[in-house]
Amino acid sequence: MSFFGRLKAGLGKTASRLTETITSVVTKKKLDQATLDDLLDALVMADLGMEASEKLIKNLKSKRFNSEVTEDEIKETLAEGVAEILAPVAIPLTPDPNRTPFVVLMVGVNGSGKTTTAGKLAELWQSEGKTVIMAAADTFRAAAIDQLKLWGDRTGTEVIHGAPGGDAAAIAYQGLEKAIHASADILIIDTAGRLQAKQELMDELAKISRVLGKKDIDAPHATILVLDGTVGQNAISQVKAFHEATPLTGLIVTKLDGSARGGIVVALAEQFGFPLHAVGVGESKDDLKPFEALDFGRALAGIDDNAADAD
């Protein structure tokens, strides 16, 4: 199955909510205000957020109001509207070759898929011929260190680590020293999953950034928040809290396979405008792909796209 096919399948629960509403309301010949109100409710319930939902309905109204419409026409118009919101943030994560080592700091709450995403990025960049080093700065869980080491073994990537319970900032600093000494292209730093309400853990992130800055004033060059696509509106508060602790440069959304809350991607784009580098729909390296706005819009609207699906 193509990546679009997996994305469409992953967003199936979200799309089915919208499709059911579209099917139920498009029983009238014309798109009237009552129908638009029902569609707005469906978009908000799918976690697209009020601002983005209102923008989509306004777009739909300007193009189709009091016109005869079919289900497919509504889906196409919604998909195009979603793509317009998402297109400005669909920016791949491309390491700057003029900044070596390019330091990527991975942050997020427990269970967001942060360590797995770090491993997938290492595998991707290694396959492109870049030299990558990873630092296991999640010192709270021995399992996290072991997981990153497994990704290191799998991808041929050196992993800098210490004992569980050690100083996370020190591990990050050692990783940067090693990457500089080895003339590595990229350093990926995995950090402990933390709840945004735990201030001492958020303070630790700020400390890691400060310590890296002592070795390279511009480091980290990218601070990526990894978000679990199933958490819905809670992702909004996560973005706010992490950005306050250490300024974010971009987002990666994982676990969109099987989420009924895939619309949160649209809400994040509308509210924050951070680059959305990639989305994940599974565990393998091929299940993390650069974000494509139109593909996402069509998958979210439940549009069958056999051409894309056959890629």
Burial of 33 (0-12, 13-18, 19+ CB in 10 A): exposed
Which pTM was predicted?
A: 0.91
| pLDDT score of 195 | 67
Confidence label for 22 from pLDDT (cuts 50, 70 and 90): confident
261-304 tens-digit pLDDT? 788 999 999 999 999 999 887 666 667 888 899 989 998 888 87
Q: For the chain, give the mean pLDDT.
A: 88
In order of start, what are the domains of the chain with their CATH numbers?
Answer: 3-89+304-309 (1.20.120.140), 102-291 (3.40.50.300)
51-88 tens-digit pLDDT? 999 999 999 999 877 778 888 889 999 999 999 999 99
Query: For residue 231, what are its two tokens?
Result: 């958490």
HEC string of the chain? CCHHHHHHHHCHHHHHHHHHHHHHHCCCCEECHHHHHHHHHHHHHCCCCHHHHHHHHHHHHHHHECCECCHHHHHHHHHHHHHHHHHHHCCCCCCCCCCCCEEEEEECCCCCCHHHHHHHHHHHHHHCCCCEEEEEECCCCHHHHHHHHHHHHHHCCEEECCCCCCCHHHHHHHHHHHHHHCCCCEEEEEECCCCCCCHHHHHHHHHHHHHHHHHCCCCCCEEEEEEECCCCCHHHHHHHHHHHHCCCCEEEEECCCCCCCCCHHHHHHHHCCCCEEEEECCCCHHHEEECCHHHHHHHHCCCCCHHHHCC
Confidence label for 27 from pLDDT (cuts 50, 70 and 90): low
Q: Determine the average pLDDT of the residues in 153-161.
A: 94
Lowest-pLDDT choice from 117-126, 132-141, 159-168, 251-260 = 251-260
Whether 218 has a pLDDT exceeding 50, the answer reads: yes
Whether 31 and 59 have beta carbons less than 8 Å apart is answered as: no
Whether 34 has a pLDDT exceeding 60, the answer reads: yes
Whether 28 has a pLDDT exceeding 70, the answer reads: no
Lowest-pLDDT choice from 1-10, 109-118, 129-138, 197-206 = 1-10
